[in-house]
Amino acid sequence: MTSSVAMLTRHDKARLIAPALSQLGWQLTELDSFDTDTLGSFAGEYPRFMTAQECAFRKAALAAELSGRDIGLGSEGSFSVGPFGIGTYNLELICCVNVAEGWAVTGRFYGPSLARQWQLKDAAALEQALADVEPGQHLLLQQGHYLKKALTVAQAHNLALLRLANGDVTLSYDLRAHLSPQRRLHIQQAADDLARRLQSYCPECSTPGFWPDKALPGLPCEACGVATNLTRHRRACCQHCGHTTITPVAARHASQQYCQECNP
């Protein structure tokens, strides 16, 4: 694999990703010649018309095209309600595309996030909200068509007080990577995952990204032996030649609390 790769970003992501890829001997070049916000932005100025995976792939393909390199990287993050409708979760994807060899590998992180949003009616609510902001986290303020981004806590405080005279304001985390400390950590973890996947090769054709992504249910209940919805095996399938392996998980049985027969 090449030692020179390109990444398309205007949010200082290459610095976060480069250390994980350096173990592969890769040198990462950052490109800012394309406004990636036009593919969808957190603040809503540009609507999102692709899934996070599609967007990360598109950014990676653009990085390769604009740089003239064989390999491009694209990063995309999204936020959604967590499992069981509790909390907010952050999904970070880093897609690596090799246009010369025809493969793509995506590293990922998925976990809880501190991302917050507040609907503020008065100064008391503003003070309470700002007391919960993570150190170093920037904010954005919206009121109707008015939008101000990249605000420090002090700047958000002063601006919100002024805008509250005209009505309610919406204050939320500015989730662009260069302004969100926790998201930067998540991107680094996604980069570590990408590096691991890039070093996992198909045993038949040596294409990278041979990874047991597909979970196959059926782990038997410890009490009655009936198959549950918990993962029993994991399947890896090569995107190039189709070679497949299926491996069992470490657990031999599922707790009966997950069994539809024992605990309907």
What are the tens digits of pLDDT across the range 89-146? 999 999 999 999 999 999 999 999 999 999 999 999 999 999 999 999 999 999 999 9
Q: Are residues 167 and 244 in the same domain?
A: no
**How much is the pLDDT for 258?**
93
Per-residue pLDDT band at 28 (split at 50, 70, 90): very high
Q: Are residues 73 and 195 in the same domain?
A: yes
**How much is the pLDDT for 1?**
47
Q: Are residues 70 and 152 in the same domain?
A: no
**How much is the pLDDT for 79?**
94
Entry pTM: 0.89
Q: Tell me the pLDDT of the chain averaged across its residues.
A: 93
Q: Are residues 86 and 137 in the same domain?
A: no
**How much is the pLDDT for 83?**
87
Q: Are residues 87 and 103 in the same domain?
A: yes
Q: Are residues 104 and 127 in the same domain?
A: no
Residue 132 and residue 116 in contact, taking contact as beta carbons nearer than 8 Å: yes
The three-state (H, E, C) secondary structure of the chain, written as one string: CCCEEEEECCCCCHHHHHHHHHCCCCEEEEECCCCHHHHCCCCCCCCCCCCHHHHHHHHHHHHHHHHCCCEEEEEEEEEEECHHHCCEEEEEEEEEEECCCCEEEEEEEEEEECCCEEEECCHHHHHHHHCCCCCCCCEEEEECCEEEEEECHHHHHHHHHHHHHHCCEEEEECCCHHHCHHHHHHHHHHHHHHHHHHCCECCCCCCECCCCCEEEECCEECCCCCECCCEEEEEEECCCCCCEEEEECCCCCECHHHCCCCCC
Residue 118 and residue 125 in contact, taking contact as beta carbons nearer than 8 Å: yes
183 is in which domain, residue-wise? 4-114+178-199
Q: Are residues 13 and 128 in the same domain?
A: no
d(CA 162, CA 25): 52
Q: Are residues 166 and 260 in the same domain?
A: no
Q: Are residues 80 and 195 in the same domain?
A: yes
| Residue where a domain terminates, one of 149, 165, 199 | 199
Per-residue pLDDT band at 188 (split at 50, 70, 90): very high
Per-residue pLDDT band at 34 (split at 50, 70, 90): confident
Overall average pLDDT of the 3-26 stretch? 92
The answer for residues whose C-beta is within 8 angstroms of residue 30's C-beta and 6 or more apart is 6, 7, 9, 13, 14, 15
Q: Are residues 192 and 165 in the same domain?
A: no
Q: Are residues 38 and 72 in the same domain?
A: yes
Q: Are residues 260 and 139 in the same domain?
A: no
- The count of domains in the chain is 3
pLDDT tens digits, 220-249: 999 999 999 999 999 999 999 999 999 999
Q: Look up the CATH number of the domain holding residue 109.
A: 3.90.950.10
